[in-house]
Amino acid sequence: MTPITRQQAIETLTAQGQPHELVDVPVQGHSMRMFQNAPASLRALFESTASDLPFISYEDERYTFAQAWHAASRVGHVLVHQCGVAPGDRVAIAMRNYPEWVLAFTAITSVGAIAVAMNAHWQADEMAYALQDSGAKVLLADPERLERLAQGPALPGLQVLAVRTTQPGAGARVLKDLTDALGEVPMPPANIAPDDLATMLYTSGSTGHPKGVPSSHRNILAALLSWELDAGIAALVAGIEAEPAAEQPGTLLAVPLFHVSGLHASYLSSYRTQRRMACMYRWDPEACAALVERERLTTITAPAAMTGDLVRVAQANRHDLSSLVVVGGGGAARAPEQVRQIRSSFPNALPNIGWGMTETSAIGTGVGGEDYLARPASSGRCSLVLQIKVVDELGIGLPAGQRGELLVRGTSVFAGYWNRPEANAQSFVEGWFRTGDVAYIDDEGFLYIVDRIKDLIIRGGENIGCGQVEAALLLHPQVHEAAVYAVPDERLGEEVGATVYADESLDVEALRVFLVDHLARFELPRYIVKTAGPLPRTPSGKILKRVIKLAALAQIFPPDASQPTR
């Protein structure tokens, strides 16, 4: 097959009559590119791909695509006929990456309800906030989350369905008991329009509580087909002939399903490709390598910290990882050295990465293979269903190579935060979503993320709002002021650091114990610096966080100590 240019590949694959045909549709005064042949809903996606091929594996449990659909149909029957769930109702999921997570999600979105994917690391207060904020009618939870739920405030009217337990606690019902009593039942009927809401994930902002990000069926399906199109373009440009795979592809679900990288990139993108998905109980690089070897998995998508762990295991040469062909990334940039190490450490795998957000349904830009190896600091070229631009402080577009704030708009971008009109007014400008990232685009269209405007820490792909951690610190009666900031970390990219002005008698370890009840584990500060005087401020009263951070870093990493790398 003769290689062609990228533009030729785009024109070929998106032309009229092609599976990935793109059409321009006017939406709110500007044009959006949409896939003409996209499924109408996630339900249509699930039904059309319910084959007898293997789909989900977790330890010794196995489901084919058809078995997963039938099992989800029973869950859907319980939700509609025993819980009274109607289209548009919110139904929350809080559990590890068990098969039940997938079955619950399939059922919720197939009956026209909205799946609220709750962060499994949240503690009682955070769980209660999201359940109340979303107005969830039903919660499906595993024993760990049920225990935390019981520690929080009462939530009258919330129905709870328990998985992986026979003793769910007061007021909860065991989901398996309900589904086992049904036998084979069809998925309840539902009329679902492409722009109906399908999911709500929560994302940490720079201040206050996390914000709900509702996404429509169209948003999500645009992202899934965008990845397919990108793969097709890359294959045509490389001159690779499309041939049936010798064996069924398989991916490792290593990232939590409450993240778009796990939900969209690992799970939902497996349907049309008929890709097997192996679930892990928790991240363990040795167990991951053993699973790749045993199941002959072909792809893994994970944050830089996790793919770095896997590189080190691969370099030890204890497992056969030759089945891997793609080691993907997202959530945070990789160090250029890790990009090169992926190429040299795996016999057949190439690296790829993308920039995306919960608000964009995980897509934005992408780069892989030789393009990525040649530009390891880049996040890639823009998806064809999106537009990106970089603007200055006045909102004026900047030419190639100049840094400014990154804006994005297009078919996969959400319409606005859940019940947050003020945040929406600040986040959208004439249909463009303000990402809060500082970036530039080179003259070939490759995006480079260089900084963040928002006060966020990205720890191993997890967004942590500094304001939320500061608020938790200030709950302690001996803490008077608090400043939270990112501390460079070689493995995770960033760790949480905090400087507190507190009573002299405050015990830092006791403060850590106190925070356990108010923050998720990944939000807990690894470094806490205590000061006996007020934190430095500007004349207007704003805390000088940069000054505080530099002073703390000098204390955490003295000049004679080895410095962490980014």
pLDDT in tens, 34-85: 999 999 999 999 999 999 999 999 999 999 999 999 999 999 999 999 999 9
Q: 111 CB contacts (<8 Å, ≥6 apart)? A: 76, 79, 80, 85, 87, 187, 188, 190
Q: Could you report the per-residue pLDDT of 437-465, keeping only the tens digit for each? A: 889 999 999 999 987 777 789 898 888 88
Return d(Cα 229, Cα 329) in angstroms, integer.
18
Instruction: Copy the structure tokens of residue 412.
Output: 């996969």
| Three-state DSSP class for residue 371 | helix
Amino acid at 182: L
Q: Could you report the per-residue pLDDT of 205-245, keeping only the tens digit for each? A: 655 789 999 999 999 999 999 999 999 999 999 888 766 67
Cα angle 554, 465, 521; round to 5: 85
Return d(Cα 21, Cα 34) in angstroms, integer.
8
Average pLDDT on 265-281 reads 97
Query: Does 566 score more than 50 pLDDT?
Result: no
In this structure, are residues 279 and 318 in contact, taking their beta carbons and an 8 Å threshold? no
Q: Could you report the per-residue pLDDT of 363-386, keeping only the tens digit for each? A: 999 999 999 999 998 999 999 999
Query: Does 470 score more than 90 pLDDT?
Result: no
Return d(Cα 76, Cα 87) in angstroms, integer.
12
Q: 144 CB contacts (<8 Å, ≥6 apart)? A: 95, 96, 120
In this structure, are residues 34 and 211 in contact, taking their beta carbons and an 8 Å threshold? no
In this structure, are residues 501 and 537 in contact, taking their beta carbons and an 8 Å threshold? no
Do the two domains 42-203 and 456-556 of this chain adopt the same fold? no
The CATH label, of 1.10.1740.10, 1.10.10.10, 3.40.50.980, 3.20.10.10, for the domain at 42-203 is: 3.40.50.980
Return d(Cα 536, Cα 532) in angstroms, integer.
12
* 6-37+215-452 CATH fold: Rossmann fold (3.40.50)
Q: Where are the alpha helices (DSSP H) in 120-249?
A: 124-134, 143-151, 175-180, 217-238
Q: Where are the domains of the chain?
A: 6-37+215-452, 42-203, 456-556
In this structure, are residues 470 and 428 in contact, taking their beta carbons and an 8 Å threshold? no
Q: What is the pLDDT of residue 455?
A: 77
Query: Does 307 score more than 50 pLDDT?
Result: yes
Q: What is the pLDDT of residue 3?
A: 74
Return d(Cα 234, Cα 225) in angstroms, integer.
14
* 456-556 CATH fold: GMP Synthetase; Chain A, domain 3 (3.30.300)
Q: Could you report the per-residue pLDDT of 483-542, keeping only the tens digit for each? A: 999 999 988 989 999 999 999 999 999 999 999 998 999 999 999 999 988 888 765 566
Report the percent of the chain where pLDDT is more than 70.
96
pTM across the whole model: 0.86
